[in-house]
Amino acid sequence: MPDATTAGPTTTDLYEVTMALSYLREGMTRPATFSCFVRELPADRGFLVAAGVEAVLDFLARFRIGPEDVEVFAQAMHRPTTDLAPLLGLRFAGEVRAVPEGRVVLAGEPLLEITAPLPQAQLVESYVLNQLSHQTAIAAKCTRCVLAARGRPVVDFSLRRAHGVEAGLRTARLAAMAGFAGTSNVAAAHAERLPAVGTMAHSYVEAFEDEEAAFSAFARAHPGPVTFLVDTYDVDSGVAAAARVLHALHRTEGAAIRLDSGDLARLAVRARAMLDRAQLPDVRIVASGGLDEFAVDDLVRAGAPVDVFAVGTRVGVSADAPYLDSAYKLVVYDGRPVMKLSPAKATAPGRKQVFRHPGCRDVIGLAEEPAPVGSVPLLETLMRGGLRCAPRTPLTDARARLTGDLAELPTTARAIRAPVPVRPSVSAPLAALTQHVQRRIERAVLAPYDHFA
C-alpha cells in the first residue's frame, strides 16, 4: 500500500478517474480552478490551523500517470487498458495558491486553490482533501493543547494509537509546529530534527522484583536525566522508591516522575508534597494518560503541580473532532465562474483571496481584487507549471506564523471550552459575482423546469 512518499495517481477515488476520462474524451481540458475549504468548524473550535500544504505540493510535483497506473485504473473499472489510454502520460502542470502552513484559518476560507487543466485538477482531489483535512484538524488540536498548558511543556506520545504510521509521523511534525517540546516518535524526531522524549512503561517496572530495583537498573543504563513511572502499583510507594534511588545515585538533576492514571490533580499534589519532604524540589512531575486540551485545562485550572503534559491518543486522532467538513469544489471552468446551489452546501464562484485585517478580521474576496488598506492576503502562489516556486516552509517559520496569528485572535476564539469563532465577511465584488452567477444558473438551468413545480 502507498504511504506519504509513494502515493501516486492511483491514490484517488474511482469517480475522479471516471470523470477525468470523460473530460479527456470530450476535449474538456481548459483551465479549471478548484477551491478547498472547511464549511463549518467542529464544536469547541474557535479556529483552525492551515496544515498539509507541503504534503500536497510534494504529491503534485511527482504526479504523472504511467502504464502501471493505467493498468490499475483499467482493473478497477473492468475495462481494457486501451480504453484508459487517454490518461497515459498525464502529469500535474498547474498552479497552486495556498495559505502557508501555520496560519490560523477560519470557516469558509479557501485553504488552497488549484488551477490546472480540468482532468488534472479533478484527479488530485482525493489526495488534496485527505492531507489538508487530516493535518489541519490535528494541527488545531495540538495548538489548543499548547494554549491549555499556559506555558508548561507539552510532548507528543501519540504514535502507538495513531491511525497508521504515516498519521503518527504527521502528528509529531504538526505538534512541533504547534509548539510541543518533543515527541516519543523516534523516526519523526530524526526526520524533523525534534527532541526525542520518553520514559518507561509499566511492563518495565513489572519485570523487576520491585520498583526500587527497576528504577535503579534504569538509572544505571541511562546516564542522563531519568524519569520514573511511579503508578504501576501504588503512587505513594512509587514516589518513595524514586526518591530513594535518586538520592542514592545522586541523580536529581533533570529527573522527573510520571503519573499515568487516576485522579492526576490529586495525585500530583500528593507526589509534589512527598518529593518536597524528601528534599527533591527540582524533580519534575510529568502527567500522561488520556490527556487532551480539555484535561490539560482542567489540571491547570485546578492548580495541579504538573510540570510537563504528555498527550497521546486523544490528540493524535483528534478524538472530539476527528474530521473536518471540508470540500474541494469547482469555482471556475474555462473562464466561466460556477457554483453549487445545493441546500446547506452552496458554494461561491470565482478564484478567491483572503484579506486579513488585524484581529483576524478576514474578508473573503476575489483573487483579482486589490488588497484593502491595512490587510494582508493569505493565499500565496506556491506552485506554477507543476513546479514549486517557493521554498519548503521550515517548521520554525510555520511556528512563528502560528504564534503571531494566535496573538491576533480574540481571546474568546482561543478559549478551550465554548469558544466563539471569528466569522469572515465577504467582499462586495464576491457578493455581486455570487448573485450574478446564481441568477444565470436560475435562468439557464432552473427556469425551463418551473412548470413541473
- Give me the DSSP letters along 237-253: HHHHHHHHHHHHHT--T
Evaluate whether residue 146 is within a structural domain.
no
35 and 122 share one domain? yes
Model confidence pLDDT, tens digit, residues 131-148: 999 999 999 999 999 999
- Condensed to tens digits (0 to 9), the pLDDT of residues 301-343 reads 999 999 999 999 999 999 999 999 999 999 999 999 999 998 8
**Does residue 19 share a domain with residue 100?**
yes
Same domain membership, residue 432 and residue 350: yes
Tell whether 60 and 130 lie within a shared domain: yes
For the record, the C-alpha cell of 392 comes out as 519548503
- Determine, yes or no, domain membership for 185: no
Q: Is residue 337 part of a domain?
A: yes
pLDDT(63) > 80: yes
In a domain, 193, yes or no: no
Q: What is the pLDDT of residues 280-290, one digit of tens each?
A: 999 999 999 99
Once rounded to an integer, what is the mean pLDDT over residues 203-223?
96
Which CATH number characterizes residue 213's domain? Answer: 3.20.20.70
One domain, residues 275 and 326: no
Q: Does residue 386 form part of some domain?
A: yes
Rounded to two decimals, what is the model's pTM? 0.94
The verdict on 119 and 209 lying in the same domain is no
Phi, psi of 195 (to 5 degrees): -65, 130
7 assigned to some structural domain? no
pLDDT at res. 39: 95
Domain containing 448 — which CATH number?
3.20.140.10
**1 lies in a domain?**
no
By the 8 A CB rule, do 377 and 371 touch? yes
Domain around 431:
14-138+321-452
23 and 70: one domain? yes
- Split into its structural domains, the chain has a count of 2
Question: Do 274 and 366 have their domain in common?
Answer: no
* 447 has a pLDDT exceeding 70: no
The yes-or-no verdict on residue 61 having pLDDT over 90 is: yes
Q: Are the C-beta atoms of 414 and 147 separated by less than 8 Å?
A: yes
Together in a domain, 328 and 448: yes
pLDDT per residue as tens digits for the range 243-288:
999 999 988 889 999 999 999 999 999 999 999 999 999 999 999 9
Where does residue 162 rank: exposed (0-12), middle (13-18), buried (19+ CB within 10 A)? Answer: buried
Strand partners, 330: 34
Residues 6 or more apart in contact with residue 396 via CB below 8 angstroms: none
CA distance 181 to 146: 10
Q: If pLDDT is split at 50, 70 and 90, which confidence band does 448 have?
A: low
Residue 269, domain member (yes or no): yes
The reply to whether 31 and 110 lie within a common domain is yes
- Give tens-digit pLDDT for 389-405: 999 989 999 999 999 99
* Pair (271, 350) in one structural domain: no
Q: Has residue 218 got a pLDDT over 80? A: yes
Could you give the percent of the chain with pLDDT greater than 90? 92
User: Are residues 330 and 444 located together in one domain of the fold?
Assistant: yes
What is the DSSP code (8-state) at residue 91? B
